[in-house]
Amino acid sequence: MPDPRRAIPRTDAVLAEPRIAKAAGALGRDLVKAVVNDVQRAARAGELAPDDVVDIVLARLPAGASSLRPVINATGVVVHTNLGRAPLSAAALDALVAAGGATDVEFDLATGSRARRGRGALAALAAAVPDAGAVHVVNNNAAALLLCALALAPGREIVVSRGELVEIGDGFRLPDLLESAGARLREVGTTNRTSAGDYAAAIGPDTGFVLKVHPSNYRVTGFTSEATLGELAGLGVPLVADIGSGLLAPHPLLPAEPDAASALRAGATVVTASGDKLLGGPQAGLLLGDAAVVERLRRHPAARALRVDKLTLAALEATLRGPEPPVREALAAPVEHLRDRADALVRALNEVDVHVVESVSAVGGGGAPGVELPSVALSLPARYAAALRAGRPAVAGRVVKDRCLLDLRTVRPEEDAQLREAVRRCG
């Protein structure tokens, strides 16, 4: 009998099929060819029929050349680090596309000469925090702190409270970061209580700066006390305040969360913050403060290694100048609106075991620890969790007491239709 494997179409024939050739133009020939080869191997092993090779190749091709997949965040964590932190606004996404080609990132179109890199984004950041004498942007908040240590305390001491020597995630610790810059840490106070006098007693000729760190991803409660920025500002040395979560001005829903404007008014020399948390923009490290000190940071040789690219600058400017980003919208979403959306989804999913439940969301991303945001969720059988994660788009929820909860505070209203169809496909 003839070998059925002879009926498996050749690689060049599959690649020449019009639909697959079109996909190769969008995804790249090598990526598509790899999928074709995988499907051909399965056909040779008898796992699928030779006549199905083309259709299965088309089904297995990714939506894009990147392996990253879009995810609907239904976890209830507004700034979810594992899902990329802040989702960008439509204005920021448009800015990314505009900046994807040749752009005037450091070119003056009027004169035809070189211009300051990212001047639009820097101007937008300066306008957002008028209390700052100058601003600068690096690639994340850890880089901002590293640059401060490199420029202000090489071979010198950084005075910091023992209660603020935090681990910043994935095993990286603040003491290790600062010491890698050649600085020495002068620890003062205790884990739970540190006074302004503790800092004052430690300051000497070797002091590079005093560092005040907001412990943004945990809380110490009970018998505690800490020095304020106002108390530390008068110690005669630079004061660097790491506020962490990127709040530029006070937020009514987060009264205990430090912000850049208030820190500068209290006397901080330099404030460092993240761009992809409560600001709602791309990953970036923000440096705001005294003009002379910020210029010193900007001109340090390491600043070149820590600089951001044109895409970050474009998205940051659009976030600062544009409409409210999704993070701000999610924080402010009224519970009654979330309940209306949930009721509408349940009505549309009338054949699914789903009902509306009360929920509690979190800010996430190391911001506002302990703050609970009342919310509303869809409750489904637990088996939906894995099935939803495997879909396109993927949906990430959380499992609580054998139920899969899809928290609508972190689902954008325009994603409701996609969420509904994702649930329906898993039913």
Give the mean model confidence (pLDDT) for residues 228-240.
Answer: 96
Give the mean model confidence (pLDDT) for residues 100-108.
Answer: 96
Contact 253, 245 (CB under 8 A): no
* Maximum distance among all Cα pairs of the chain, rounded to whole angstroms: 93
- pLDDT, tens digit, 9 for 90 and up, residues 269-295: 999 999 999 999 999 999 999 999 999
In 3D space, the residue among 358, 363, 404 whose CA is nearest the CA of residue 380 turns out to be 404
How sure is the predictor about 216, in pLDDT bands with cuts at 50, 70 and 90?
Answer: low
Contact 143, 285 (CB under 8 A): yes
How sure is the predictor about 2, in pLDDT bands with cuts at 50, 70 and 90?
Answer: low
Q: At what angle do helices 335-348 and 416-426 cross, to 10 degrees?
A: 40
How sure is the predictor about 5, in pLDDT bands with cuts at 50, 70 and 90?
Answer: confident
pTM for this prediction: 0.91
Average pLDDT for the chain: 94
Q: Which amino acid is at 217?
A: N
Q: 403 - beta bridge partners?
A: 381, 400
Concatenated DSSP letters of 138-187? ESSHHHHHHHHHHHH-TTSEEEEEGGG--EEETTEEHHHHHHTTT-EEEE
What per-residue confidence (pLDDT) applies to 63?
86
How sure is the predictor about 168, in pLDDT bands with cuts at 50, 70 and 90?
Answer: confident
Give the mean model confidence (pLDDT) for residues 188-214.
Answer: 95
What per-residue confidence (pLDDT) applies to 222?
83
Report which secondary-structure segment, H or E, holds 361. strand 355-364
Spell 112-134 as b/e; 16+ CB within 10 A means b: eeeeeebebbbebbeebbebbbb
What per-residue confidence (pLDDT) applies to 219?
73
- pLDDT, tens digit, 9 for 90 and up, residues 316-368: 999 999 999 999 999 999 999 999 999 999 999 988 899 999 999 999 987 78
Contact 290, 268 (CB under 8 A): no
